[in-house]
Structure 1
Amino acid sequence: MEDSQSEQQRMIRRHNREKKELQARIQSMKNSVPKSDKNKRKQLLLDVARLEAEMEQKHQQELEKFQEGLPDNSSVASVTEDLAKMDLENQPPRFSRSQRRRERRAALERERQERIAEGETEQLASYRHDEEEKLRTILGAKNLEMKNITADGQCMYRAIQDQLVFSVTVESLRKRTADYMRKHIDEFLPFFCDTETGNAYSRDDFLGYCDDIVGNLSWGGLLELRALSHVLQTPIEVIQAESPALVFGVEYTKRPLTLVHTRYSCSLGEHYNSVKPLEAGAVGGAAPRLF
Structure 2
Amino acid sequence: MEELLAKHRKEQKDLQARITQKKKSATKKSRRGINEECERLQSELSDRHQAELAQLNGEPVPPIDDLEDLDLNSHNNDEEQNDQINDSEHQSSTDSTPNTSSSASVSSAASTRPKKPNRQKARLARRAAEQAAQSAVAAEEASKQTDHRGNEKEVMDDVFKRLGLKQVEINPDGHCLYSAIAYQLEKLGVGLRPDPNRIVLEPPTRSRIDTVTSPQHDGYRAVRAVTADYISEHQDDFSPFMEEPVDQYTRKIKLTAEWGGQLELLAIAKAYGVEINVIQGDGRIEKIEGDTEEYEPEERRKRVIWLAYYRHTYGLGEHYNALMK
Provide TM-score, normalisation by structure 1. 0.49
Larger of the two Rg values belongs to structure: 2
